[in-house]
Each structure stands twice: as structure tokens, then as C-alpha cells.
Homo-oligomer: A and B are copies of this chain.
Amino acid sequence: MARKKVQKIKLPKAFRAKSKLGKAPGAINYVGGRKEQLTKISLLEYTNDSLKTQYPRPLKLKESISNEMTSFCNVVGLAQENIIDGIGKSFNFNNLLLEDVVDTFQRPKIEEFDDHVFGVFKMLYLNQEDLLVVEHMAMVLIEGTVLVFQETEEDVFDGVLNRIEQKFGRIRSRGADYLFFALLDAIVDHYYIVLDEVKDKLELLEEEVYNKPSEETAKRIQLIKKEILRIRKWIFPVKDLVNRLIESEHQLISKDTKLFLKDTLDHCIEINEDLTLYREMSTSLMEMYMTSVSNKMNEVMKVLTVIAAIFIPLTFLAGIYGMNFEYIPELHYQNGYFVLWGVFIAIGIGLLILFKKKGWL
């Protein structure tokens, strides 16, 4: 079970370079692997006292949004490029923004516009079958509204939705910028799960290296090193982005919300430090593996040397008395054979003591 979690979902291979070449910048071109997901929209709106859910059609989305309530608009499925384009047009979003919404290769980013703040992040979570999923998402903060674009229905926002519905904490009494923060915070909180996975694997591998290192162990260490490098690419930039939000002077982000973002920043710093730590641990692990391979070789060599060093001289001695010279006086001694056995045993024991002293046994 624990092993299974490690596996990532295989998506159809996406080709960035080919699909982008020659296109105008701002072309809305979904390059991810979830092409079968139809675009669905849900609109959750709340004030401190009321709560409302709608499922508007794309072209009606803009006008469905209430000005009096905080609105959480969730757009699931990015493959229907024309729908995304339509939604974007109705909100007057820049084409480059829309391109990034559907560009699953886009690295995490925050961009501030006059009347909206745009962010791209990667959600990392375990899905219902306990497999690690990486999902591209984008979110836009407008006056009173947060728009979220994501590839699939599963996400990391159940906790946030729960707090909204159950009226836990302060979320219902605060505005859209707090919602924006809460979603970002949920994404960052889920990064800890990936880190825990990595840590678990490192500890298992450490035990493997110490107890029964095989050639597979080395491959697994390399694999986790590569995985850490890849996770870094998705997670590392988030810290700077959160910091930029805190230092931003955009009118949509209140001073109050920045206090909460500082808490998220703390977590981002810790996550990045842990990633660095795990990376160094994986390097140490490889080093330890090499050491254990060398030690194994040493042990093998010692066995060979001890056996060869004892028996090769003895065989030579036996060979001497197997010679057919006419005159070999020892052969005619009455106890020659038994004396020689004594010599054999003496040499053998002598060498064993010598090797014992050398610490080879």
C-alpha cells in the first residue's frame, strides 16, 4: 500500500515544443493530458449570513455573479479551449493570461493587473486511489470574486469549502482576498503530504542501504533524487510569489490578508528548507550506498585472499611430494606422511592467526 502511493498517475505524454512552435503568443492551447474532461462551472457565493450555489453556463457566468456576496467560481476542465476563451473574454482577461490558464507547463507565477490578480500554481495531492497527482491550476482575484481554473474535479479545496459551508473560522465574514489566500494556503498545506512521502521513502531507502543494498537500491535512490528535483521545480517558486503578494500594493489585497499570507510564507520557507534537506540526504544516501558496495567488495576479496593464501602454498607442498624423482628421501621416512600433515596444519593455523591479527577474519 505504502509502495503504491509512491507511483504517480501516468498521463499521455504532452509535447510542449511542437505544439507551441509558430503560434502567436496568446494562443489558447491546452497541452495537458486531461483532454477528456468537459468544462463544468460551479459558482458558490456567500455572505456571513447566506450561502448560494449555482451552475451557470459559461456565457452566463459573468452576469450570474452577485456583487453583494463573495463569489467562488470553480471552472473544472481546461481542454475546451473555446469555452475558456469565452469566459476570459467576458471578464476582459488578457490573451496571455488565458494562454497561461491552459498551459500546463507554465511554472508557478503571480501577475498583477489593474483590476485583477492572476496566479498559476500546481496542486499536489493523493487522489481517491492514494496515487500522487500533479494538477495544473490558475486563479484570478477580482473585486468580490475568485475564479479558479483546474483540470479535474478532484482538488485540495475540500477543507476550504467545508469551512465556508460549516461557517468554521473567519472565512464567511471576510472578502474575496481572504478566499484567495485560503485557497493558496490549502495548496501549500498539501505540499507537506508530498514532503512526507519523500521523507518516508528516504527513510525506507536508508534502511535498505544499511541492511540489504542491492543494485535496485541504487536505482531507487537515483529515482528519488530525480523526483525531488522535479518537485522542487513546482514548489520552489511559490515562496517568492507569496512574498511578492505580501509586499504588493495592489488595492485588492487588504493589510489583514497579508498577515495571513505571512503565515503561508512561513510554511513555504519551511517546505523549501525541507526540500533542500531531503536533497542533501539523498546525496548522502548514494554516498553510503557506494561505501557499502566497496565494503562488500572488500569482504569478498578478504575471503578469496584468506582461502588462496592458505591453500595455494599447501597445494604446492603436496605437489612436491607428488613428484616422481627417483630419489626423494622424505618419501621413505616412516612417518613422512604424518609429519607433513603436521606441517600442513601448522602453516594453516599460523596463517589463520596472522589474518586474524590483521583483522581480516
Question: Residues on A close to B: CB < 8 A?
Answer: 15-17, 20-27, 94, 96, 99-100, 105-107, 109, 111, 158-159, 162-163, 168-171, 182, 185-186, 189-190, 192-193, 195-196, 210, 212, 215, 218-219, 222, 225-226, 229-230, 233, 259-260, 262-264, 266, 269-270, 273, 277, 280-281, 284, 286-298, 300-305, 307-309, 311-316, 318-328, 330-332, 334-337, 340, 359-360
B25, B281, B297: the one within 8 Å of A298 (CB): B297
Contacts A263-B96, A318-B320, A321-B325 given: A23-B303 contact, CB under 8 Å?
A: no
Contacts A259-B96, A305-B303 given: A327-B318 contact, CB under 8 Å?
A: no
**Chain A facing B: main interface SS:** helix
Q: In the complex, which residues of chain B have a beta carbon less than 8 angstroms from the beta carbon of A325?
A: 321, 330-331, 336-337, 340
**Copies of this chain, count:** 5
Query: Are A192 and B16 in contact, with the CB atoms below 8 A?
Result: yes
Query: Are B304 and A215 in contact, with the CB atoms below 8 A?
Result: no
Query: Are B291 and A169 in contact, with the CB atoms below 8 A?
Result: no
What separation, in Å, do the CA atoms of A284 and B262 have in the docked complex?
Answer: 36
Q: In the complex, which residues of chain B have a beta carbon less than 8 angstroms from the beta carbon of A16?
A: 192, 196
B15, B233, B302, B315: the one within 8 Å of A312 (CB): B315
